[in-house]
Amino acid sequence: MQGDVDAQAFSAELAELKRGGCTLLVASDAPGHGTACERLLGAPELDRSHVFLSTAVDVPTILTRHRPRRTDPGSFAVVDATFDTRSTTTTTSAAPTGPTATTEWYERAPDHLDLEAVYTTTKAAIDRVAADADGPGELRVCLDRLDTYIDATTAGTIAETELFRFLHLLCGAIRRVDGMGHVHVSASADDDVLGTIEPLFDATVEIETTAGQHARQRWHLHSSGRETGWFQL
C-alpha cells in the first residue's frame, strides 16, 4: 500500500468497520467495476450471504457474478429495480438448475423510481438473509448502479432529498445487521449530487484501470480522514 497513511492503522480501522457494519461508495471506471465487486462480495470459499439491489444489471448477469455460491433464499436475494420490467417467468429461466433452484430469492420492486418502495423491498430482503448470517461482515449487499438515481435526480424526476433519505435508510439497515454494503457509481457521476450523499458512507473507494489493464484502488476513510495511495486491486 502506498501513500501518506499508516498501513497498520488503516487496516485496524477497516477491520473495525467490518465488525460494526459499514457501507462503501465505490466510484469506478467501466473496466474496473467487475473486479471491485467480486472482491467486495468476498471469496466464494468464505460462503458469504448476499443481497443484490440492481437498477441496471439483469438477473442472469447477477447470477453469473454470484456463482458458485448458494442461491437458497436464506443466503441470497435479488431485488430487481431495473427500468426494463422482467417477468418472473423470464427470471425463472435464468435460475440455476438443481435441488436448490428457486425463485424465492427474487423480488421485483413495484416502481424502480419509487425509492420508498425500493427501500422497503430491499430491507425485507436484507432482514431475511441476515437472519441466518453467523457473524459480522458475513452479509454482503451490492447496489448496482447508483447512476440511475443520480441521473433521475439531475433530471428532476426524483428530489435530491429523496435520494439522500433512501441511502441514509439503506446504509442504516445494513449497519444494523452488521453487514458490509457497497454502492457502485460511475467515476464520471455528477459531482454535486455525490458531494451531498458521500458523507452517508463510511468510506469511498476509487477504482481505475491502468494503461496496462490492471485494476487499482484508492481508499478514503471518512471518520478518520485516512486516505491511501493507489494500490493493486
Beta strands in the chain (DSSP E): 22-28, 49-54, 76-80, 106-108, 139-144, 180-186, 203-209, 215-221, 231-232
Nearest to 204 by CA among 34, 14, 1, 65: 14
Q: What is the pLDDT of residue 6?
A: 79
**pLDDT, averaged across the chain:** 88
**105-156 pLDDT, tens per residue?**
999 998 999 999 999 999 999 999 999 888 899 999 999 999 999 999 999 9
For residue 211, pLDDT over 70 is answered with: yes
The 3-class SS string of 88-122 reads HHHHHHHCCCCCCCCCCCEEECCCCCCHHHHHHHH
For residue 4, pLDDT over 70 is answered with: no
pTM of the model: 0.89
Q: Cα separation of 108 and 151, whole Å? A: 21
Name the residue type at position 231: F
14 neighbors 221 (Cβ within 8 angstroms): yes
Nearest to 219 by CA among 51, 67, 57, 26: 26
Lowest mean pLDDT across 34-43, 102-111, 157-166: 102-111
Kindly indicate the confidence band of residue 91, based on its pLDDT and cuts at 50, 70 and 90.
very low
How far is C-alpha 35 from the geometric centre of its chain's CA atoms? 13
What lies within 8 Å, CB to CB, of 97 at 6+ separation is none
